[in-house]
Homo-oligomer: A and B are copies of this chain.
């Protein structure tokens, strides 16, 4: 099988973790006789520094022509505390999501028994946690009108949703639930927000088409509690963009190791895969960042190509390094291996 993969290394630790994923993908290609062709392209602070734009047109073209995108991380502190900055790295990612129609961000939340001791939660609360968050990614307050008056004394953000925007991700989430434990939880704030009431209405209507899936509802404030109090109760969680941003990051602490978690952003065409961790600029270039979030994102990319055996082999290799203690500093500060060593061990295993 031949595939064109767009590579966006991005900012901070993005380049060094992505490098390890490519190593693993190359090992897969060799073992299974595939050919993966990589096209490197720019986004984020890196792109601003080099081209002035957080998402150069060329990047969009490369992505559109690709079969899948592997992305590292975005963001640099020099832009964060400057409210007047006109160009921000994150704009690149948001524009990419919108332009490619990546309307669903999918984040599995799983735990590794070997790493239970790293979780801030008690082991009995996290054993057997296995759920998946479907976050709407191209609508809501992220993409609504943004206004500030001339005097700079009043600002506003508009949050709009259409039934169609809700419907397309809802179908994906129900289908995922059908292949899992058949439970879907919609997280919203229907006691306050008009958009949440539209979500509830549309999701309820669609539920009729999936009679084997149980649907329930949680207000987002309650969901923020339940994710910590009793994460086992969840199977598939569906929510809008802003709530999804918050609760999916919250849920990522359960495993005790942010550095391990992958994500996929999908839509009608090409899909994008990225670790959930950020650009972590303090660690950039030190060869200490955990490459597994990126490597498991590459496994999701393989799934997306329907290369299930290949994807599972990558996951097996990851589990093997974790069990063997071949881990980066975030997992074991005392006996730690470099980013590049962990990447090498995983690709060797493959």
Inter-chain contacts of A164 with B (CB < 8 A): 153
Q: How far, in angstroms, from A194 to B160 measured CA to CA in the complex?
A: 15
- Among all A-B residue pairs, the 3 with the closest Cβ atoms: A146-B194, A224-B250, A221-B249
Q: Which B residues are CB-close (under 8 A) to A258? A: 225
Q: How many copies does the complex hold?
A: 2
- Taking a contact as CB atoms under 8 Å apart, the answer to whether A90 and B121 are in contact is no
Q: Are B148 and A154 in contact (CB under 8 A)?
A: no
Tell me, yes or no, whether A269 is within 8 Å of chain B by CB. Answer: no
Chain A 247-260, CB-CB to B under 8 Å as 1, else 0, gives 11110110000100
Q: Residue A192 contacts which of B94, B158, B221, B225 (CB distance < 8 angstroms)?
A: B94
Q: Is B156 a contact partner of A195 (Cβ separation < 8 A)?
A: yes
User: Shortest beta-carbon distance, A8 to chain B, in Å?
Assistant: 18
Closest approach, in angstroms, between the C-beta of A62 and any C-beta of chain B?
A: 24
Q: In the complex, what residue of chain B is closest to A244 when comparing beta carbons?
A: B221
How many angstroms from the CA of A201 to the CA of B84 in the assembled complex? 9
A200: which B residues are within 8 A, CB to CB?
A: 81, 83
| Partner among B198, B224, B248 whose Cβ is within 8 Å of the Cβ of A148 | B198
CB-CB under 8 A from A10, the residues of chain B are none
User: When chains A and B are docked, how far (Å) is the Cα of A197 from the Cα of B155?
Assistant: 9
Q: Is the CB of B246 within 8 A of A220?
A: yes
Q: Taking the complex as formed, is A168 at the interface, i.e. its CB lies under 8 A from any CB of chain B? A: no
Which residues of the partner chain B approach A228 to less than 8 Å between Cβ atoms? 120-121, 228, 250, 253
Find chain B residues with CB under 8 A from A253 CB: 225, 228-229
Q: Which residues of B contact A35 (CB under 8 A)?
A: none
